A and B are shown apart, each in its own frame.
Chain A
């Protein structure tokens, strides 16, 4: 009875939207047999302390991720282009905080 079932269960990434939040944030992953069960388990594992009001689960296999080894070529070129931050514009008073 103690044979691990996990080997046969796909991995799911869990995204939770908190009560105040507008967006779903990644909060972890879990193993489950199917989407409905993944939702239930996400509820039990990740919302026990009222963390959320909405849950998404996504098969981990469906996510295409960038390769950490490509970090240099992907992200470093943006480092010296501070003019892409709109911090050089005068914001009119009536616009208020942006």
Chain B
């Protein structure tokens, strides 16, 4: 039994896009130890993306490769959650620049890894055994990402006035984007229908309790969502993804097929 290939691409695109965002801190981390920690997380995510792209490429055939899927698809072909492509800063238009904000990075990693711990746990039992094997490996990594980010959420929230305010602002900005997790689309429904995918709606209560418990410890308030439903996984993205891909894909497109 095989999971729909779009479902694999969705998981892969999530990982590669967040891996790219986290990698923006490489060499710019707030302290040396955190610089290394975040680069590790970024490399875990890119590793997950590679496994998923390789599997998708094998199943697509016709000469598809992991590089072609990562570097030669346009923004509207990407199936990642909109949450993951947003800049490491407060809300901005696509070309604007500002200082990166570590609270934004940490809160996003927290919201996503809390979901992925539950998703990978469930996918370990997928009858698509290739996907199940990737889930088993990724679960350990995502558990670590959740520990790391939750630890910082608590330190920031329960820290100084400035760190508290920044963490709260990051939650207020990012939390509404998590609505996209729960709105099942075609490939998710197909994956549920043939038994290979997970129905994320069944994970929602567990996800919310992870979020709530950490926010309580961090003395932060749970933001409200306001009805906007992002549709990144359906290929309708914010302007930020194009800029991210522009940077990520430019080298491969300028030197197609280049190797080390």
A residues neighboring B (CB under 8 Å): 1-2, 4-6, 9, 30-33, 36-37, 40-41, 44-45, 48
Interchain nearest-CB distance for B185 vs A (Å): 36
Interface contact A5-B37, CB-CB below 8 Å:
no
How many angstroms from the CA of A6 to the CA of B34 in the assembled complex?
A: 11
Interface contact B102-A1, CB-CB below 8 Å:
yes
Question: Once A and B bind, how many residue pairs between them come within 8 Å at the CB atom?
Answer: 37
Interface contact B40-A48, CB-CB below 8 Å:
yes
Interface contact A40-B151, CB-CB below 8 Å:
yes
Q: Return chain B residues, CB-CB under 8 Å to A48.
A: 36, 40
* Chain A residue with the shortest CB-CB distance to B28: A2
How many angstroms from the CA of A37 to the CA of B99 in the assembled complex?
A: 25
B33 within 8 A of A: yes
Q: Return chain A residues, CB-CB under 8 Å to B148.
A: 40
How many angstroms from the CA of A82 to the CA of B258 in the assembled complex?
A: 63
Q: Return chain A residues, CB-CB under 8 Å to B30.
A: 1-2, 5
Interchain nearest-CB distance for A52 vs B (Å): 15
* Chain B residue with the shortest CB-CB distance to A47: B40
* Chain B residue with the shortest CB-CB distance to A38: B33
How many angstroms from the CA of A40 to the CA of B102 in the assembled complex?
A: 18
How many angstroms from the CA of A40 to the CA of B155 in the assembled complex?
A: 14
Q: Return chain A residues, CB-CB under 8 Å to B40.
A: 44, 48
* Chain B residue with the shortest CB-CB distance to A46: B36
Interface contact B151-A30, CB-CB below 8 Å:
no
